[in-house]
Structure 1
């Protein structure tokens, strides 16, 4: 179905709503204006403009260059993962294959840890050398935001509570990892390295492609 947007206006986008719908409760539980859901980043006359969550920003170009330089200087991981091939139909499929063909890597995809009423994945892949790997195909900005959020939450809570660490170790054991993979509360957290494995096709550097607010 094609939509004719020729008569659509900014004013109308501010009144039209986007909803999240709970199928169990058969009701909408959250709503936002369409305008606030549209994020844009572009350059005009060598100036950077960003619309994010309904607000407009002009970013100083010197600051943009400084941030891009910082991102460009983040070293590539020493972990080498195979390319994402067309026959790997899903991220879950890819993670399982990496664990099968890789040495000293276990697949933690879909292994959930529970905190109160929330659940999260500690990581997608875990190496015996203490690399905590988060994998995500880059389809849109929201997927990258989710990836970085997953990495931050994982890093924040992994050593925060012994019961959480035990859940993680139970998941590692369930995934086939031996004791050498286990997280130890007494470990120095600097021994661990977080890796973001971002799958994308474009021939651009990470600094060039990442949305500014993701940087």
Structure 2
């Protein structure tokens, strides 16, 4: 009894230590294959601590703002990476425990991706405290959300069809073992009262939780998108992307550039593709600007190595380079390969679950019965819409939107680009990335909702209609089943092939409109 009291007292005195734990890939056992620099180290009974020597330096803001060198103000950071192993079924399982910025000491490609988040989802309760997600509905958006209380994933507005969960924070079911909170990403982070001699049993339990796949019981949708780790598959996919960049006519890849993480835009002055002081400044990153920064030889032979070696720098309002990423990490792509759908997101490949993919694409239909005139590809959308209405009296072009003073912001609502006299409401857009198409689909949904629910909106629309079209929208309550919402997308391609996440977005919008009893069509306009 006395021994138990002594042990409890020691445990109460011991402080919690935050541990960021990475699982190292099975085929890597030599520490020199894991750690960039093994020259500075400290050996322990169960592993080796590799570390960077710490140096103090003055923060830049002392000179930039105060114009003074204040000797007592210094920055210093310590980084360590502890490599250890445990056994499971006679097999050595290697882990890396990161301290400070120790994670930067890992060599590329040595850790198991998503180990942390899958393990966290397997050990936490059903409710979560915080999530980080990447959303494809409006292009590519990183979102970090935290509730004042624990809640279900649905409480965070998580869309299992358009969001990829990248990190999660929750309470573990076994708080005696894992502490009060676990954070899962590539690493799993826990705060526990264990030291270097006592941690390996916790590592073993984390590994068991990881291979149990328990997360599938409550978060089965997580595997709608799964990480791709096979080097051969990655190489094949990389080659397809490079082929697309060098030959834009390829149709099996859709790709674009975007910042791969959440940044402080208010502290961002510009982006540069070179560290030179006189390098061209850009307000965002796009392929055309990146290509302009290349030499003539590079432009004609873009390779994966070039995409990985070329950087884009984020410059803050003090003209300091604060972050940089490889172009490859900023590359986002959707690839069709061997009847599979793959996504490249922030330097990582994901495969879309085949059952999920088939379910989504089986509901995708482009209507061939509703025809619109060909579109001169040199014409802007408003010019095309006016030409349609001028040449066919069944159509009226509504230019400039409809005022809706009851809405916050008192902006303009685009009721429709073209109104046909038989109650077809046509929304027109040139083919573009997911964000562009998302705007098109949302435009139709907002317009249809207001048509059904807002009398003042109907009155405003009616006032914009010419006499031959007045009956399309009256002030009285409409019958939505008499209306057809038409999404018309102009493209010079033979087929109207939307980005995968745009297909999901259209599918969800169509479901909402169908619940209102509207008819919905997706049609192609041929651009010539």
TM-score bucket of the superposed structures, by smaller chain? 0.7 to 0.9
Q: Is residue 210 from structure 1 mapped to residue 491 from structure 2 by the alignment? A: no
User: Which residue in the other structure is 2:491 paired with?
Assistant: 200
Alignment match of 1:155 (pick from 428, 448, 451): 448
User: Any conservation in 1 of the 2:332–2:345 contact (CA below 8 Å)?
Assistant: yes
CA contact (8 A) 1:107 1:124 kept: yes
Distance 1:156 1:53, change over 3 A: farther
Q: 1:96 to 1:37 in 2, by over 3 A?
A: farther
Aligned-residue RMSD, C-alpha: 3.2
C-alpha separation between the residues in 1 aligned to 2:309 and 2:465?
49
1:27-106 counterparts in 2 under 5 A? 39-43=332-336, 46-51=339-344, 57-72=350-365, 75-78=367-370, 80-86=371-377, 89-106=379-396
Computing the radius of gyration over CA atoms, which structure comes out larger, 1 or 2? 2
Whether the 8 Å CA contact 1:159–1:185 is kept in 2: the answer is no
CA contact (8 A) 1:136 1:197 kept: yes
Q: Which has the higher contact order (CA 8 A, sep 6+)?
A: 1
Residue 178 of structure 1 and its aligned partner are, at CA, apart by 4.0
Which structure 2 segments of 5+ residues have no match?
Answer: 1-288, 299-304, 316-324, 504-528
Which ranges in structure 1 are unaligned for 5 or more consecutive residues?
18-32
Deviations 1:33-84 (Å, cap 9, x if unpaired)?
A: 9999753212456542224699964311232223222113x53353x32111
Deviations 1:133-155 (A, max 9, x none): 00111143332222112112112
SS state at 2:501 partner: coil
- Listed as ranges, the matches of 1:125-144 within 5 Å are 125-144=418-437
Distance 1:16 1:69, change over 3 A: same
Contact 1:132 1:195 in 2 (8 A): yes
2:453 alignment partner, SS class: coil
Name the structure 2 match of 1:27: none
Structure-2-length-normalised TM-score: 0.32
Instruction: Tell me whether 37-46 or 153-162 shows the greater mean CA deviation.
Output: 37-46
The answer for the alignment partner of 1:119 in structure 2 is: 412
Q: 3-state DSSP class of the match of 2:465?
A: helix
Cα distance 1:55–1:167, how it changes in 2: closer, same or farther (>3 A)? Answer: farther
Q: 1:135 to 1:42 in 2, by over 3 A?
A: same
Secondary structure in 1 matching 2:485: strand
Q: Distance in 2 between matches of 1:104 and 1:172?
A: 12
What is the distance in 2 between the residues matched to 1:153 and 1:109?
A: 17
Bigger shift: 62-71 or 129-138?
62-71
* Greater mean alpha carbon deviation, residues 162-171 or residues 57-66: 57-66
TM-score (norm. length: structure 1): 0.73
Note the alpha carbon deviations across 1:157-194, whole angstroms, 9 max, x for none. 22111111112212224xx6542232444221111001
Matched pairs, number: 191
